[in-house]
Amino acid sequence: MRLKSRVRSWIAGLRVGATPLCPAGHLPHKGGDQVAASAQPHSTVAASATRSAGVSGRRPPISLLVGEMPGRAEGGKRRARLIATIAAFLALHLPAHAATKADVEAQFRQWLANDLWPEAKQAGISSAAFKAAFADVKLDWDLPDLAPPGFPKAKERKQSQAEFSSPGSYFSEKRLQGLAATGRSLASAHASTLKRIERTYGVPGQVVLAIWGRESGFGRAKIPHPIMDVLATKAFMSTRPELFRRELIAALNILQSGDVKEAEMRGSWAGAMGQPQFLPSSFLKYAVDFDGDGRRDIWNSVPDSLASIANYLSEKGWQGGRDWGFEVSIPGSVSCAQEGPDLARPIADWAGMGITRVSGKAFPAAERSASGMMLVPAGTHGPGFVVTPNFYVIKEYNNSDLYALFIGNLADRIAAGGGPFRGEWGDVGKMLRSDVLGMQKALVAIGYDVGKVDGLPGYKTRRSLGDWQAKNGLAPTCFPAPSLKAKLR
């Protein structure tokens, strides 16, 4: 710091008595500031935050000067160049001034006018609709995953130190029982609507009800956030701005269409809206007006909400007349390494291997010739399933095996009073992701396709592990375990 202080003092000394950089009556044209502001709004908060105090937070390069006198002495030019060089050095080595929330709020308004508006205009949004949409919008500083410009970056917990959760913890029996009881009551209350939905879209009412219950507690959950505040905040200063920028433009299209008033347009902290929890882009593609009032209202209309869920599943490929899947018993002679949607075979073939339903019932005759896939989300440490393509359609709603199983189980409970899965979830899921990551890398090194190498045991990792176990004289479990760490390196 002594060196920096001396340099500052020396620069000040150079300036004392020197010919002014700008003659009287001429101010420098702040081209450097203008370029920085237009090129990237997030990069200039520190500068804009302190310009009012006469200090440049980012210390941009000295701009070309307008109105500079011709014939300046060569020594003055060398002095100016020297000062510019030293100023650039200090910009790299001195800390920038921190931004304040007020600074960021001001920059947000500039971003709306100079950055977002041109894109919205190109997307067909009128000036009047744009101004109305953002008249009362404000940044929500309480949202997660924010990266305000000019603020220190939040410390992130290293994923290598995170445990992946046991699959069994996802299936709260108390919650499932409560949702099922409410779902059966609502199935009766909305019976005519659900029948019309099933005729129109081919999706069973119990599946629609299960998703409705899981997403918003059948429309009874409090949906707290003004969606424009959420999307604008995250488009401007989140860790994934491009995703939310697209959703913000989609939300503007919704408002301009007149389907909903902005005051009613509420959603979650992640930008999912209404009773079905649609992102704005999904609303534009899949929301429907099923009550005939001329508006697609997934906030207040039960028919619109339920039909929109069904339309989503239908558009994603729901196969009418088929189940989502069956819990099964897999004999020890059948390897768990046969899991995955890319290893589908007729359900009759799985039955021929000795795989049976845990209920004791036979597979439905209409299902036997159709394709089915093995699913063992905890390997041999939990329940096993033969699922249909409809299981993977449910995953389009939320890309998680456990979510799709939750919906399938809840739908069965609503329709026929079913209960929990018969197979018990073992005590798994306490390894660090870094440990699983090491296993994945080791499997890849010897030629296995484990899918995404991310420290999470997806189906490709599970079946690769099971195949490796079998080839190395171990009983296949198809799931990571501490005892395998030393063996698989």
With a CB cutoff of 8 Å and minimum separation 6, the contacts of 111 are 41, 236
Asked whether residue 22 carries a pLDDT value surpassing 60, the answer given is no
Q: Lowest mean pLDDT of 90-99, 173-182, 231-240, 333-342, name the range.
A: 90-99
d(CA 425, CA 407): 17
CA torsion angle for 101, 107, 112, 116 (degrees, to 10)? -110
CA torsion angle for 201, 205, 210, 213 (degrees, to 10)? 100
In Å, what is the CA distance from 95 to each residue of 46, 91, 147, 323?
10, 8, 19, 61
| Cross-strand partners of 225 | 267
- Looking at residue 69, what is its pLDDT? 34
For 116-130, the pLDDT digits (tens) are 999 999 999 999 999
R_g over Cα of the chain: 30
Q: Lowest mean pLDDT of 6-15, 39-48, 66-75, name the range.
A: 39-48
Q: What is the mean pLDDT of the chain?
A: 84
With a CB cutoff of 8 Å and minimum separation 6, the contacts of 357 are 326, 327, 328, 329, 363
- Establish whether domains 216-315 and 325-416 are of one fold: no
Two tokens, residue 206: 């119990």
d(CA 488, CA 255): 55
Mean pLDDT across 16-40 = 34
| CATH code assigned to 216-315 | 1.10.8.350
- Contact assessment for residue 318 and residue 404, using Cβ atoms and an 8 Å cutoff: no
d(CA 233, CA 229): 6
Asked whether residue 73 carries a pLDDT value surpassing 90, the answer given is no
Q: At what angle do helices 74-93 and 2-15 cross, to 10 degrees?
A: 150
Spans of all domains in the chain = 2-93, 216-315, 325-416, 433-485
| Percent over 90 (pLDDT), the chain | 73
Looking only at the bridges linking them, the beta strands covering 325-329 and 384-387 are antiparallel
Asked whether residue 301 carries a pLDDT value surpassing 60, the answer given is yes
| Cross-strand partners of 238 | 146
d(CA 176, CA 438): 35
Q: How confident is the model at residue 353 (pLDDT cuts 50, 70, 90)?
A: very high
In Å, what is the CA distance from 132 to each residue of 96, 118, 123, 138, 244?
36, 16, 16, 13, 20
Side-chain-side CA neighbours of residue 330 (13 Å): 25
Domain 325-416, CATH among 3.40.50.300, 3.40.430.10, 1.10.530.10, 1.20.120.790: 1.10.530.10
Smallest CA-to-CA distance from 245 within 397, 149, 111 is with 111
Two tokens, residue 399: 């890309």
Q: Lowest mean pLDDT of 65-69, 329-333, 368-372, 422-426, name the range.
A: 65-69
